[in-house]
Amino acid sequence: MSRLRVLHLTGSAQDRFHRDLSRLYARDCLAATADPTRYEFQIAYITPDRQWRFPLSLSDQDIATAETLDLSEAIALIQSLRIDVVIPQMFCLAGMTLYRNLFDLLGIPYVGNAGEVMALTARKDRAKAIAAGAGVKVPYGELLKTSNSPTLRPPVVIKPSSADNSLGVSLVSDEHQYTAALQTAFSYADTVLVEEYIEPGREVRCGLVEKEGELIGLPLEEYPVDAKNHPIRSYGDKLERSESGDLALTPKGINKSWIVDPSDSITPVVQAAAKQCHQALGCRHYSLFDFRIDPQGNPYFLEAGLYCSFSPRSVIAEMAKSAGLSLNELLAMTLKAALRP
């Protein structure tokens, strides 16, 4: 049996943060899923100057010594490598859209959602509108440009319409907090969502994977929220930088997140809503959705996070593990879905 030639598409054409985030997850994936009997891994590493490198690993030394190529040179090299399938590991907007579209043009399949679906869900307001149209509850909100003023009265949640990892997200409890919160959100995007604050309740993520064409709901992951001390999740709940400046995932623990018992009555309700979102948004292979559960047990769709790096610390990988599906089984299953005609 011949080995699959798999290209890991890493780095960022946008900025250092997204470059380091990609490298963080991709490095974990490469170490955890290496299997020379099944896969031949190649790495494409893109930097904010939009140059390409094809290092032997994602170590500082291998990146520094790799030859720098422009787009046309990179395409020629990729074609010469006869890549079977790509695992996109880029989290910047261009990486999730334009670079995926490039592989569509080259006729090389890739794992995960298509570039146009990623572009759609990168805009939280558009993803919300489609979810609402499919019958899923969403928080009431309004989309603002810098020239607009909010009309909703606090408490509200303010978030950039196109940023991830809770960057620029604020809870406004008093109208005097509006100005600072809007300035922060507008520093990350040209448009900002102002949404009604859904009192917790609970906050969960729901992952879905396709297995032999069937959409499977994975166990939910829950995050601690309470109206008094921790009303919303913030950037600090997810990522941090070390003293040396390296980006790292915030350590997890029972006080940070946990897998919900599959027998919990909220599980089938959230999974049903997630499947509606998956189908309405045109997702494929896998998907991940955030929900806020109000005190009455009603799930409200917050946003879609349609990526999986196949790092052991990826949320979908952790959910799959709790369901008895190993990381290597998850990867093999998803590669098979990507290669299906």
- Taking all residues of the chain, what is their mean pLDDT, rounded to a whole number? 92
Alpha-carbon distance 223 to 319, whole Å?
13
Mean pLDDT of 254-267: 89
Confidence bin at 240 (pLDDT 50/70/90)? low
pLDDT of residue 227: 76
69-73, 228-232, 303-307: least confidently modelled range: 228-232
In the CATH scheme, what is the code of domain 141-196? 3.30.1490.20
Q: Is the pLDDT of residue 239 over 50?
A: no
pLDDT of residue 252: 55
**pTM exceeds cut of 0.85:** yes
Q: Domain 4-112: give its CATH architecture.
A: 3-Layer(aba) Sandwich (3.40)
Express as a percent the part of the chain with pLDDT over 70: 92
147-168 pLDDT, tens digit per residue, is 899 999 999 999 999 876 668 8
The span from the first CA to the last CA of the chain, in angstroms, equals: 19
The reply to whether CATH 3.30.230.10 applies to domain 120-137+199-306 is no
CA torsion angle 74 75 80 82 (round to 10)? 120
Whether a cis peptide bond, with omega within 30° of 0, leads into 201 is yes
pLDDT of residue 282: 97
Confidence bin at 248 (pLDDT 50/70/90)? low
Tokens encoding 31: 């170490």
Alpha-carbon distance 337 to 282, whole Å?
15
Q: Is the pLDDT of residue 245 over 70?
A: no
Confidence bin at 229 (pLDDT 50/70/90)? confident
pLDDT of residue 225: 86
Tokens encoding 143: 């989309």
Q: Is the pLDDT of residue 26 over 80?
A: yes
Tell me how far CA of residue 132 lies from CA of 125, 149, 273, in angstroms.
Answer: 10, 24, 10
51-74 pLDDT, tens digit per residue, is 999 999 999 999 999 999 999 999
Q: Is the pLDDT of residue 85 over 50?
A: yes
Q: 275: burial class by Cβ within 10 Å (0-12, 13-18, 19+)?
A: buried
Alpha-carbon distance 52 to 250, whole Å?
29
Every domain of the chain and the residues it spans: 4-112, 120-137+199-306, 141-196
32-50 pLDDT, tens digit per residue, is 999 999 999 999 999 999 9
Tokens encoding 125: 């307001």
SS (H, E, C) the chain: CCCEEEEEEEECCCCHHHHHHHHHHHHHHHHHHCCCCCEEEEEEEECCCCCEECCCCCCHHHHHHCCCECHHHHHHHHHHHCCCEEEECCCCHHHHCHHHHHHHHHCCCECCCCHHHHHHHHCHHHHHHHHHHCCCCCCCEEEECCCCCCCCCCCEEEEECCCCCCCCCEEECCHHHHHHHHHHHHCCCCCEEEEECCCCCEEEEEEEEEECCEEEECCCEEECCECCCECCCCHHHCEEECCCCCEEECCCCCCCCEECCCCCCHHHHHHHHHHHHHHHHCCCCEEEEEEEECCCCCEEEEEECCCCCCCCCCHHHHHHHHCCCCHHHHHHHHHHHHHCC
pLDDT of residue 163: 75
Alpha-carbon distance 1 to 268, whole Å?
40
Residues linked to residue 258 through DSSP beta bridges, in sequence order: 222
Same fold: 4-112 with 120-137+199-306: no
CB-based contact 204:293 (threshold 8 Å): yes
CB-based contact 290:244 (threshold 8 Å): no
